[in-house]
Amino acid sequence: MIQSAAKDSSVDTDALLQLARDKSSAGRKVLGETIADLFLGNVRALSERERTLMFDILHQVVHDIEMTIRQTISNQIATLPDTPPELAVILANDDVEVAYPILTQSEVLQDAQLIETIRHRTLEHQMAIAIRHTVSVDVSDALVETGSEDVIRTLLENSGARISQATMEYLVEESSRLNTFQEPILRRHDLDPNLAKRMFMWVSAALRKYIVENFDLEKSVVDDLLEKAALQEAGGETHFGTPSNKSDELVAELAEENAVTPELLISALRNGQVHLFVSMFRRLTELRHTLVTRILLEPGGEGLAIASKAVGIDKENFSLIFSLSRKVRPGSAKPLQQQTKEATEFYDSISEVASRGVLRHWRRDADYLAAIRQLELTSRHG
């Protein structure tokens, strides 16, 4: 019977070489166990000569050693700085159970070797490379080129991965259709604020809040972005260009006769006369056209509720105005009845005095979101 060469306190190099020449399955099994024992430290520390011999033998016979032993060896040499690159490459391209420790931890693998593995091995190999402690720009590019959503998301979540500006710009654009990229991109410390601003147009409300709180954006920029996002969600700006002179002239005449009423606002929306509605609402609230447009288009209707209450539009008429405004602003996943109920409840929760105060803030071009947040805090604690 063949005995392991690593059972005593010394390394019998002659026995190892004899085992290496033994091509039988039993010989390969004992050789693998012997080398595994040596790397597990079951004998004294190996000398440089002995370690070199180990690596040379491994390089020759690694494919013939059973997988469980290859796994043991891979685990043991993954962090060794003197692992021969040729051996590391062989193990890195083995089955992923063997390759994983090498791919995630070994520093002897070069970018070119990692890229070859990315291009020719499995998704699991790619995922292992994506979580390495450091990932170079070139390796990141190769991972992105796989087109795998899971691999790319894993790469984005790795703070040790370096991603080029060009690749990041590409991924930002991809995030407009792949929601799973959005949060990992926004949480990257190396994201250009200009790219975060670009994402503002398609991310969720929660991520818009994250952008506002974590990137140095001026209030005017935030207002512009919110307005553009609302317009985009509503289908573009074609329905909300600046009202014509005729609309403004008609509203001026109506105002002289005190004929700008909630009923007339409702009639304008019902008949699809959006420009006329905007002109009348501007007249009632004394707000800028862009702000009235934003109020009309925003998803929750909070601004519309505040402005309506501030100018004396009662609950029933507000409810009708809000309901009709949703036809102007399509696309919500919520049923219209639920949207209207929530908007009306918000209308009920605010006082006329508070709403008039917010309207005065908006007339002075104060921050739109801050005024709404302050009103909500006052309503909750008042």
Residue-wise pLDDT for 226-255, tens only, equals: 656 655 554 444 344 444 567 778 888 888
Mean pLDDT, to the nearest integer, of 215-230? 64
Distance in angstroms (rounded) separating the CA atoms of residues 136 and 367: 42
Distance in angstroms (rounded) separating the CA atoms of residues 209 and 200: 9
Mean pLDDT, to the nearest integer, of 276-294? 85
Which helix (H) or strand (E) is 66 found in, with range? none
Q: Which two tokens stand for residue 30?
A: 């004992």
Q: What is the structure's pLDDT at 59?
A: 59
Distance in angstroms (rounded) separating the CA atoms of residues 186 and 195: 9
Phi–psi pair at 42, nearest 5 degrees: -80, -5
Q: Does residue 330 register a pLDDT over 90?
A: no
Q: Which two tokens stand for residue 125?
A: 């190999």
Q: Which two tokens stand for residue 266?
A: 């409702």
Residue scoring higher pLDDT (295 or 100): 100
The pLDDT > 90 percentage for the chain reads 32
Give 321: exposed, middle or buried? Use CB within 10 Å, 0-12, 13-18, 19+.
Answer: buried
Phi–psi pair at 318, nearest 5 degrees: -60, -45
CB distance 300 to 344 below 8 Å = no
Q: Does residue 11 register a pLDDT over 70?
A: no
Q: Nearest to residue 231, comparing CAs of 200, 258, 196, 262?
A: 200
Q: What is the structure's pLDDT at 320?
A: 93
Q: Does residue 331 register a pLDDT over 60?
A: no
Q: What is the structure's pLDDT at 120?
A: 94
CB distance 344 to 334 below 8 Å = no
185-211: string of b/e by CB count within 10 Å (b at 16+)?
A: bbebeebeeebbbbbbebbeeebbebb
Mean pLDDT, to the nearest integer, of 38-62? 58
Phi–psi pair at 161, nearest 5 degrees: -90, 130
Q: Tokens 């917010």, residue?
A: 358
Phi–psi pair at 135, nearest 5 degrees: -130, 125
Going by pLDDT thresholds of 50, 70 and 90, the confidence category of residue 112 is very high
Q: Which segment, 31-45, 58-72, 133-147, 351-365, is predicted with the most confidence on average?
A: 133-147
Q: What is the structure's pLDDT at 29?
A: 63
Going by pLDDT thresholds of 50, 70 and 90, the confidence category of residue 104 is very high
E-strand ranges in 95-188 read none
Q: Does residue 366 register a pLDDT over 60?
A: no
Mean pLDDT of the chain: 78
Q: How far is CA 97 from CA 39, 62, 70, 129, 274, in A?
A: 18, 14, 9, 14, 63
Residue-wise pLDDT for 170-192, tens only, equals: 999 999 888 899 999 999 999 99
Q: Which two tokens stand for residue 157?
A: 């979540």
Domain positions in the chain: 1-97, 245-381
Residue scoring higher pLDDT (155 or 217): 155
Q: Which segment, 97-111, 273-287, 317-331, is predicted with the most confidence on average?
A: 97-111
Q: Does residue 133 register a pLDDT over 90?
A: yes
Residue scoring higher pLDDT (363 or 64): 363
Q: Which two tokens stand for residue 86?
A: 């040729």
Q: Which segment, 41-45, 138-142, 197-201, 371-375, is predicted with the most confidence on average?
A: 138-142
Q: What is the structure's pLDDT at 44?
A: 42
Residue 135: strand pairing partners: 161
